[in-house]
Amino acid sequence: MAQYTQDKEQLTQQKAKRFNLWLGMIGMFMVFAALSSGFIVYTQGGIDKGIKTILPDAFIYSTALIVVSSITMYLAQKAAKEMAFGRQKGLLAVTIALGIGFFMMQVHAWGILADRGVVFVNSNASQSFIYIFTGMHLAHIVAGIVVLVRALIGRIRNIPQVSNVFRMGLASLFWHFLGILWIYIYVFLLLNQN
């Protein structure tokens, strides 16, 4: 009976964690939707028509990194379900490295923009939205990397398989969401770059 109660309690906690993650992702989506709306209203107001700069190629490379990291995350989650723990750890490590690479490529893109005179505070305030969108996304990427590292540490510490699969499921969901969110941001900025 005690084991059943513990399992039931663990299941309840997992449902709560999954629900909280979904709430967080919906909240993040709403923030970026509000930013997109704010950008559209601002640029349609006649002050600044678009960001008036060509986005750096570094954004294309970071997009490739996050797409590949989504694939490695999918494969890591699959490995966890198959109990292929060595492969899971390796793929998680690759996903983390790709996430760090994405972060570094985004910072590199900011440097390119700054060299072009596109800085956070300037006479074309719509250009500031590049930094707002990408900066907020990078903050969430850092959170995603922390979640991935936690999943990797859990696997290294040999946590129970039920917990391992659950952690991987949450990490995978969040990481894929961040990838989709970046693609939305990049396409939105591309459509408004002139």
Type of residue numbered 159: I
Note the pLDDT of residue 1: 40
Note the pLDDT of residue 121: 75
- Tokens 């500031």 found at: 128
Distance CA 183, CA 138 (A): 13
Closest Cα to residue 72, out of 193, 155, 176?
176
- Sketch out the chain's domains with CATH numbers: 2-191 (1.20.120.80)
Give the chain's length: 194
49: which residues sit within 8 A by CB, 6+ positions away?
Answer: 43
Note the pLDDT of residue 118: 81
Note the pLDDT of residue 14: 83
How many CA atoms lie less than 13 Å away from 189 in the CB half-sphere?
Answer: 24
Sign of CA dihedral 183, 185, 190, 192: positive
Q: Encode the chain (194 residues) as per-residue pLDDT tens digits.
A: 444 445 777 778 888 888 888 999 999 999 999 988 888 887 776 666 667 778 899 999 999 999 999 999 999 999 999 999 999 999 999 999 999 999 999 999 999 999 988 887 776 677 888 899 999 999 999 999 999 999 999 999 999 999 999 999 999 999 999 999 999 999 998 888 76
| Backbone phi, psi, residue 116, to 5° | -85, 0
* Angle ∠(53,57,59) on CA atoms, nearest 5: 90
